[in-house]
Amino acid sequence: MALTFYWYPKCGTCRKAKKWLDEHEIAYDAIHIVENPPSRKELEDLYKKSGLELKKFFNTSGQKYRELGLKDRVKTASESELLDLLASDGMLIKRPLTTDGTKVTVGFKELEFEQNWL
């Protein structure tokens, strides 16, 4: 089964991850995370499958994150509020977001990709 690879083409980390997938001949469906962001339901599903804290799904270095002053809100907001925020704007989601329907990786660390996608 091909991976689902949510990415932002202007993002250097996304381009590195895409290059890694290509070099390892791993099939994936690339989805532009801003033009076609995952729905709230999809985000909730990815979050639950990832085993990560929900705040790990936020692009904390992004301009939108800073503009909205989310640093403090993320600490106190409910899971539901955080999912609503993530679903509201693809630029808030840490990328790339990669899944095979069972496992999920957030961001790109080569070792993590090797462990999960090879």
Stated length of the chain? 118
pLDDT, tens digit, 9 for 90 and up, residues 21-65: 999 999 999 999 999 999 999 999 999 999 999 999 999 999 999
Question: At 9, is the pLDDT very low, low, confident or very high (cuts 50, 70, 90)?
Answer: very high
User: What contacts 3, CB < 8 A, 6 or more positions away?
Assistant: 21, 26, 27, 28, 29, 98, 99, 100, 117
Number of domains in the chain: 1
pLDDT, tens digit, 9 for 90 and up, residues 66-112: 999 999 999 999 999 999 999 999 999 999 999 999 999 999 999 99
Euclidean distance between CA atoms 83 and 53, whole angstroms: 12
Domain ranges, residue 25? 3-117
pTM as predicted: 0.93
